[in-house]
Chain A
Amino acid sequence: MAGTLTPERTPRRLCELSADARAAVLLDAAGAPAGCHGVAPARSRDLAQLARTTFEAVDRAHRDIPGGPPEQVEIQVDRGTVYASRTPTWTLAVVARRTALSSLMLMDLRAVLGELEGGTPIRRSTAAAAAAATGAEATEEAAARESPVPELGVEEL
């Protein structure tokens, strides 16, 4: 089906959603890299290994922390922030700029993983000005996708 998110495309999808995401890597349940974006192919294996190490260290740290098993982690260092999120099937880690908003980045991680697992596709909007510039033909189908607030543009699936 067109538009279905594949594991290979998932890291790129996350980086497209957020301007603060610099690179991302997706691991499968066995910890093997399933997709990578933002680093040279020669370095993608190293990034995957580091993402795997992150959750190993999180699980070790969790023994001292009350509450359920961690599902997401946020690590702020001098020159950036690393966010990672996991489900029973996938682990997605992203290297972001320090300016990234934690709540938005964690939400994007959850949304992208949800979409990968067959959940609701993420709806993105095009600015009204950009939509007008493309000169899209006015059809009933296009009208059905129009936002109830025209100033906000049309929604993309």
Chain B
Amino acid sequence: MREKRKGPIGRAAGLAEGVAATVRRMQREREPRVLVYDETGYARLVQPDGRGHERLLQTAERMVELVDESEIEAKPRRQRARRAAPDGGAE
């Protein structure tokens, strides 16, 4: 049986549903989460109220901060090195 053609309102509604689904998916992907994998590669989600969940998130956040801080510190050094280079600093 042929599907009934959608009118302009139906098409707009379909488009809005698609956008809403994309936004929901993006929000879900941004949510903090912890997954552990056993030796077979089987993944298990550590539940937000589970033991160690909060500590794992805090540790990971601190690790990311540490790398951010290290990169910020390294940038002025790299810029100074480029300025000091005789050929204008092209790496």
Contacts and interface: CB of A to CB of B under 8 A. Distances in A.
Interface of A: 22-23, 38-40, 43, 46-47, 50-51, 53-54, 57-58, 60-82, 93, 95, 102, 106
A58 B52 contact: yes
B59 A57 contact: yes
A54 B66 CA distance: 15
Contact of B59 (A50, A69, A70, A72): A50
Interface in B32-67: 32-44, 46-47, 50-53, 55-57, 59-64, 66-67
B37 A80 contact: no
A102 to B, nearest CB: 8
8 contacts: A39-B70, A64-B51, A70-B36, A70-B44, A73-B37, A95-B63, A95-B64, A95-B67
Contacts of A38: 67, 70
A75 to B, nearest CB: 4
Given A54-B59, A61-B50, A61-B52, A74 B35 contact: yes
Contacts of B91: none
Nearest to A74: B35
Contacts, number: 128
B68 interface: yes
Interface of B: 30-44, 46-47, 50-53, 55-57, 59-64, 66-71, 73-74
Contacts of A62: 36
Nearest to A106: B37
B70 A78 contact: no
A145 B63 CA distance: 40
B60 to A, nearest CB: 4
A77 B32 CA distance: 5
A135 to B, nearest CB: 22
Given A64-B51, A82-B59, 7 more contacts: A22-B71, A57-B52, A61-B46, A65-B46, A70-B44, A77-B32, A80-B60
Nearest to B68: A79
A70 B47 CA distance: 15
Contact of A77 (B36, B47, B64): B64
B44 A65 contact: yes
Given A57-B55, A75-B34, A43 B66 contact: yes
